[in-house]
C-alpha cells in the first residue's frame, strides 16, 4: 500500500499556507520525525496550561485556556506538515511510521487528560483519551489486515480536535468547568460512535475477504 493511500484525506494539505510552511521546514532542514516530535511538545504545553487553568484569578484561566486551544491547533499543524515534508519534500525516514503514529497517541492522552483536569473531571478526561486512542487502534488493526486505513468519523482526529478547540475557547469566557465537561462528554460519545462504526466496517470486510 502506497504512502498516499495511507494518508488521511485533508483539504488543508492543498492550501497555500500549508505548502509555504512545508517548504520553509524543508529549507530549514527540519525532518518529519522532528516535526512529529514537536507535536508532543505542544501537547505537553497544552496539558500544563489545562492543569494550571483552574488555579489563580479569572484572567489566568482565560489566558491558559486560549493558549491551550492554540496548542491543540499547533499540534494539528505539526500533524499536517510532517507528512508533507516526508512525502512532497522527500524527507521520509525508515522509522517514520513510528513517529507518524506514536506522538499522536501521546498527544491525545495529554490534551484530553489535561482538559479533564481543567474541568475537575480527571476520570472523564482519561475516558475520552482512552476512546480516542482506541479509534486509532481499530484503524491500525484494519491496516495490519491489509485494508486501507479507515479514517471515518463521526469524530476522527481532526473533528475531535476541532470540538476540543471550540469547547476550550468557549470555556475561556463562559462557565469554564461546565463547558469543558460538556465538551468532554461530546468527545466521549463521538469517539465511541467512531469506534463502533470502524469496528463494524472492519468486521464486514473480514467476513467478506
Domains delineated in the chain: 12-208 (1.20.120.1760)
In this predicted structure, what is the pLDDT of residue 4?
54
Whether 65 and 118 have beta carbons less than 8 Å apart is answered as yes
In this predicted structure, what is the pLDDT of residue 1?
40
The C-alpha atoms of residue 185 and residue 168 are separated, in whole angstroms, by 13
In this predicted structure, what is the pLDDT of residue 11?
80
Does residue 12 surpass a pLDDT of 60? yes
The C-alpha atoms of residue 198 and residue 191 are separated, in whole angstroms, by 10
In this predicted structure, what is the pLDDT of residue 93?
85
pTM for the whole structure? 0.93
Q: How many Cα atoms sit within 13 Å of 83 on the Cβ side?
A: 20
Burial 43-72 (b: 16+ CB within 10 A, else e): bbbbbbbbbbbbeeeeeebebbbbbbbbbb
Could you give the angle at which helices 58-87 and 16-27 cross, rounded to 10 degrees?
70
Does residue 2 surpass a pLDDT of 50? no
Average pLDDT over all residues of the chain: 92
Tens digit of pLDDT for each residue in 165-206? 999 999 999 988 999 999 999 999 999 999 999 999 999 999
Whether 202 and 150 have beta carbons less than 8 Å apart is answered as yes
The C-alpha atoms of residue 115 and residue 185 are separated, in whole angstroms, by 11
In this predicted structure, what is the pLDDT of residue 5?
58
The C-alpha atoms of residue 107 and residue 26 are separated, in whole angstroms, by 24
Residues 6 or more apart whose Cβ sits within 8 Å of residue 30: 85
Tens digit of pLDDT for each residue in 13-72? 888 888 898 889 888 889 999 999 999 999 999 999 999 999 878 899 999 999 999 999
User: What is the Cα 178 distance to its own chain's centre?
Assistant: 22
Q: What is the mean pLDDT of residues 70-90?
A: 91
Whether 142 and 198 have beta carbons less than 8 Å apart is answered as yes
Amino acid at each position: 500500500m502506497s504512502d498516499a493511500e495511507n494518508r488521511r484525506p485533508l483539504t488543508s494539505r492543498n492550501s497555500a499556507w500549508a505548502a509555504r510552511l512545508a517548504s520553509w521546514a524543508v529549507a530549514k532542514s527540519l525532518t518529519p520525525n522532528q516535526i512529529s516530535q514537536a507535536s508532543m511538545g505542544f501537547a505537553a504545553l497544552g496539558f500544563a496550561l489545562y492543569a494550571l487553568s483552574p488555579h489563580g484569578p479569572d484572567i489566568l484561566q482565560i489566558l491558559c485556556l486560549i493558549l491551550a486551544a492554540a496548542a491543540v491547533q499547533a499540534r494539528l499543524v505539526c500533524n499536517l506538515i510532517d507528512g508533507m515534508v516526508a512525502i512532497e519534500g522527500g524527507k521520509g525516514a525508515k522509522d517514520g511510521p513510528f513517529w507518524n503514529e506514536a506522538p499522536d497517541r501521546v498527544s491525545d492522552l495529554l490534551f484530553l487528560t489535561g482538559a479533564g483536569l481543567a474541568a475537575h473531571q480527571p476520570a472523564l478526561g482519561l475516558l475520552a483519551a482512552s476512546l480516542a486512542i482506541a479509534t486509532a487502534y481499530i484503524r491500525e488493526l484494519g491496516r495490519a489486515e491489509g485494508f486501507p486505513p479507515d479514517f471515518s468519523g463521526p469524530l476522527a482526529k481532526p473533528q475531535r480536535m476541532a470540538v476540543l478547540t471550540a469547547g476550550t475557547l468557549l470555556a475561556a469566557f463562559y462557565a469554564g468547568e461546565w463547558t469543558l465537561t460538556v465538551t468532554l462528554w461530546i468527545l466521549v460519545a463521538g469517539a465511541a460512535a467512531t469506534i463502533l462504526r470502524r469496528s463494524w466496517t472492519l468486521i464486514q470486510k473480514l467476513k467478506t475477504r
